């Protein structure tokens, strides 16, 4: 009489849970990275110029991430969008909603775009933002008061805007906790 493999229900559940945890640990970040790339691609189609933290035209280094993941998903899987420059017409509310989902965005330029204070209220959730370029826009002191406080913001450019010395002073007070903040006015 041959003996078949026998597993207890408890052992089967433990193995299933362990495999599930391993797959989640590997694939949840992959799905998030792919989602970030899809958002960046959608914004690029709408007229934004997107810069990434890895560009094969600039560096000859190997793309980031493990080789197996690059083989499965392509060389761009671990490449993050870090800078956005808007060109053309002002962004729509949908554009700003997509923009706010870019978790690694460090630089945002809306310079020369016909935007006003209303747009600044919709820029929340850009936790990694270090540089914001608003020069040659219709931003006023009221807009500066509505500007979300970005925890890593170091530079903001406000040349040729409708802001005043009082507005700049209030902004400096609000973001004074930052180590370096240079305002070009």
103 has a pLDDT exceeding 70: yes
More confident call, 88 vs 109: 109
Q: Is 53 helix (H, G, I), strand (E, B) or coil?
A: coil
Do 115 and 142 contact (CB within 8 A), yes or no? Answer: no
Confidence band for 184, pLDDT divided at 50, 70 and 90: low
Q: What is the average pLDDT across 97-104?
A: 89
- DSSP β-bridge partners for residue 52: 81
Least confident of 41-50, 94-103, 118-127: 118-127
Looking at residue 181, what is its pLDDT? Answer: 52
CA 169 to CA 40: how far, in whole Å? Answer: 34
Q: Is 93 helix (H, G, I), strand (E, B) or coil?
A: helix
Least confident of 90-99, 110-119, 145-154, 176-185: 176-185
Question: Cα–Cα distances in Å, from 109 out to 129, 155, 165, 182?
Answer: 11, 11, 22, 15
Strand duo 81-86 + 48-52: pairing: antiparallel
CA 66 to CA 14: how far, in whole Å? Answer: 28
Looking at residue 83, what is its pLDDT? Answer: 93
Architecture per CATH, 29-184: Alpha-Beta Horseshoe (3.80)
Looking at residue 167, what is its pLDDT? Answer: 87
Looking at residue 84, what is its pLDDT? Answer: 93
Token pair recorded at residue 1: 């009489």
Looking at residue 111, what is its pLDDT? Answer: 92
Mean pLDDT, rounded, of the chain? 82
Q: Is the CA virtual torsion 114, 117, 122, 123 positive or negative?
A: positive
pLDDT in tens, 13-63: 888 888 888 777 766 677 888 888 899 999 989 888 999 888 767 777 777
Percent of all residues in the chain with a pLDDT value above 90, rounded to a whole number? 15
- DSSP β-bridge partners for residue 84: 50, 108
Question: Cα–Cα distances in Å, from 151 out to 110, 128, 154, 180?
Answer: 19, 7, 9, 12
Domain residue ranges of the chain, discontinuous segments joined by +: 29-184
135: left (phi over 0), alpha (psi -120 to 50) or beta: beta
Q: What is the average pLDDT across 177-185?
A: 56
């Amino acid at each position: 009489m041959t003996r078949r493999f026998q597993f207890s229900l408890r052992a089967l559940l433990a193995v299933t849970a362990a495999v599930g945890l391993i797959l989640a640990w590997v694939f949840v970040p992959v799905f998030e990275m792919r989602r970030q790339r899809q958002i960046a691609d959608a914004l690029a189609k709408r007229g934004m110029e997107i810069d990434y933290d890895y560009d094969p035209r600039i560096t000859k280094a190997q793309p980031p991430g493990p080789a197996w993941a690059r083989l499965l998903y392509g060389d761009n899987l671990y490449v993050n969008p870090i800078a956005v420059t808007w060109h053309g017409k002002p962004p729509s509310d949908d554009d700003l909603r997509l923009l706010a989902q870019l978790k690694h965005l460090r630089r945002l330029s809306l310079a020369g775009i016909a935007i006003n204070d209303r747009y600044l209220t919709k820029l929340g959730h850009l936790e990694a933002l270090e540089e914001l370029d608003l020069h040659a826009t219709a931003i006023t002191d009221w807009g500066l008061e509505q500007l979300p406080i970005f925890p890593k913001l170091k530079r903001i450019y406000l040349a040729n805007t409708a802001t005043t010395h009082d507005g700049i002073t209030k902004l400096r007070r609000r973001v004074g906790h930052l180590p370096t903040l240079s305002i070009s006015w």
